[in-house]
Structure 1
């Protein structure tokens, strides 16, 4: 579904991504892990068309990735950003309907029902202003808004950020459920342990480069990862 080769990107003279190679296949959950400042956000911005790559090739669903954000969304690559980025002064229904502005508008009612089936709490609070929701409910809304666009591929950027341990468990269960329905997911996280329990494969980014990659079990058991990220 997604193939990235030799990707370089940055800000002015500062290069952040230094030759990223990775891929995500159909039906996979692939975790992209790393601490703050290693390039995860820059990678997501390039994939979403918010910033341009300096070099490299990105192919999505067999074709070269479109250049603009609107074209990328229309192609089915949907990014649920870090920090949720909901519209706090709009209610839940209005936020969800904005999710199908570029893609999925013809199936708005059907997609709303699917979102409410996955997130019954959103149906219960359908007229509530998004800014008054709890952190977990706002994350549900952000993912639900992404699902309204009928994604062929979903990037989830730090979905567990700021959630309680109980809600983190609930969020990862949800991600697994979405994947079991056939949706390929790129999970960009700092939560190393639970991401590796969920993912099929993983990439560890350090200083803008892939420092470690492989199937999730081998990455989880790698002594370098355990020493650097888990303190073991």
Structure 2
């Protein structure tokens, strides 16, 4: 579904991604794991058309997105829920959600809104509330709901558990599994290694802008290289 080959990108003269190879098949949850500063968010920005690639190739459902704009990526159904939620705090919950269908699936806005409210009943209760007054967990629900409004073909979740309480983290990973069970492929970009590997079918470990370990999530979970990458052991 998504094929990335030799992807390179950076900022100014600083190269951050140093030849990333990665693929996602239909129906999968694939975890992309790494500590702060290894290039995970940069990878998401390139896939979303926000940051240009300096080399390499991105193919999504048979279509090249290597030099695509952010508009092109959204219209293709490659939907990115960014790190830090990036909601519009002074707009209502409903307005935030409706903006999710601005470039894609606008004709189905009403039915998709109802679907999001069924997934996140708390958002229905806060429809007219300013998004900035929601709790951290509710804001993350809103960010994912906004992404769902665009009827994603592939959903990229960037650090969805960041800043949440342990109980809400559990809820978030359960939600990710539920969305995937409905057939939605998900690229899960996380620092939470343990739960990500329990949730995903496959995983990639990124260090210094390159993939150093990849394979079935269960295999990686038991690989001593994982401890070296994260703990220096």
TM-score bracket, shorter-length normalisation:
over 0.9
Show the 5 A alignment for 1:77-156: 77-156=78-157
Tell whether 2:56 aligns with 1:56.
yes
3-state DSSP of counterpart to 1:95? helix
- Structure 1 unaligned blocks of 5 or more: none
SS of the counterpart of 2:57? strand
**What are the residue-to-residue correspondences of 1:1-232 with 2, within 5 Å?**
1-65=1-65, 67-229=68-230
Q: Deviations over 1:4-27 (max 9, x none)?
A: 000011112211111100100000
SS of the residue corresponding to residue 173 of structure 1 reads helix
CA distance in 2, matches of 1:158, 1:199: 14
Moved over 4 A (4+): none
Q: TM-score, with normalisation over the residues of structure 2?
A: 0.98
Give, in angstroms, the shift of residue 230 of structure 1.
5.6
Task: Decide whether the 8 Å contact of 2:207 with 2:229 is kept in 1.
Answer: no
191-200 or 65-74, which moves further after superposition?
A: 65-74
Q: Distance in 2 between matches of 1:125 and 1:61?
A: 36
In 2, Cα distance between equivalents of 1:229 and 1:169: 22
User: Where does structure 2 lack aligned partners over 5 or more consecutive residues?
Assistant: none
Per the TM alignment, residue 195 of structure 1 is displaced from its structure 2 partner at its CA by 0.1
How much is the aligned-residue C-alpha RMSD, in angstroms? 1.0
TM-score, length-normalised on structure 1?
0.98
SS of 1:229's partner is helix
> What CA deviation, in whole Å up to 9, does each residue of 1:147-174 have, x standing for no partner?
0000000000000000000000000000
- In structure 1, C-alpha distance between the alignment counterparts of 2:158 and 2:8, rounded to whole Å: 20
**Is the Cα–Cα contact under 8 Å of residues 89 and 129 in structure 1 kept in the other structure?**
yes
Q: In structure 1, what is the Cα distance between the partners aligned to 2:147 and 2:221?
A: 29
